[in-house]
Chains A and B, each alone.
Chain A
């Protein structure tokens, strides 16, 4: 299978960016337990990969390796934060009864 080097660089940039965004989030918005960590990690990895291009086009960044990576990091962090807010809302709802 032949992969165009530019495509490979794009995919690697997105993967590395999503991974960085998901892992750095651990310090800023720590999860409650391992199960929540696993769910938020998977979601932010996938979300980071999916939402790279909307984030990149929002700031009209050019399609180069660094910007793919930066956009993926921001997207992954955003998904992580959004899921955290979701979990918080669910917990508050359950506690209320």
Chain B
């Protein structure tokens, strides 16, 4: 593991602490950590088409979140994983010029997912469940929080006949 992997692990722990009161956030962060560790291990093992295994792990996480998602912030996390799947496929198809760029884009997508989860936690703490009055900034935070807490745009189709 390199410095970026350690930084991401620290970020994941911070997001875990921030989202301690957000239901399901812990599960998604833990799934993300497992997926990241597994795909990083496969990349380091230098097996052919390692990116395709990344597609499989990211897909597994995304479909699990989508099946149990209730709020909009969760579908934003699914979109991050979907983006990572696309990047992995583009890397397999030689459409990304350098490995440096490929790894950087993946790291950014990982950090975006963590910021969405941690940000929801911060907003929940800061706005007292979206009912904040007072300064313009806190009202803005309340708006953002209520948006993230909206029911998911995708239905929980896995559960329904």
Interface residues in chain A, defined as those with a beta carbon under 8 Å from any beta carbon in chain B: 23-24, 26-28, 30-37, 70
**19 chain-A/chain-B pairs, Cβ below 8 angstroms:** A23-B59, A26-B66, A27-B59, A27-B62, A27-B63, A27-B66, A27-B78, A27-B81, A27-B82, A28-B82, A30-B66, A30-B157, A33-B160, A33-B161, A34-B157, A34-B158, A34-B160, A37-B157, A70-B93
0 or 1 for each of B6-24: is its CB under 8 Å from A? (1 = yes): 0000000000000000000
Q: Does B51 contact A (CB under 8 A)?
A: no
| Chain A residues closer than 8 Å to B78, beta-carbon distance | 27
Interface residues in chain B, defined as those with a beta carbon under 8 Å from any beta carbon in chain A: 55, 59, 62-63, 66, 78, 81-82, 85, 93, 154-155, 157-158, 160-161
A33, B157: Cβ atoms closer than 8 Å: yes
Q: How far is the CA of A26 from the CA of B66 in the complex (A)?
A: 9
Q: Which of A27, A28, A31, A70 contacts B157 (CB 8 A)?
A: A31
Q: How far is the CA of A37 from the CA of B160 in the complex (A)?
A: 11
| Chain B residues closer than 8 Å to A37, beta-carbon distance | 157
| Chain B residues closer than 8 Å to A24, beta-carbon distance | 55, 59, 85
| Chain B residues closer than 8 Å to A34, beta-carbon distance | 157-158, 160-161
Q: How far is the CA of A65 from the CA of B17 in the complex (A)?
A: 47
Nearest CB in chain B: distance from A16 CB, A:
11
Nearest CB in chain A: distance from B49 CB, A:
10
Q: How far is the CA of A70 from the CA of B92 in the complex (A)?
A: 11
Nearest CB in chain A: distance from B44 CB, A:
24
Return the chain A residue nearest B82 by Cβ.
A27
| Chain A residues closer than 8 Å to B157, beta-carbon distance | 30-34, 36-37
| Chain B residues closer than 8 Å to A35, beta-carbon distance | 161
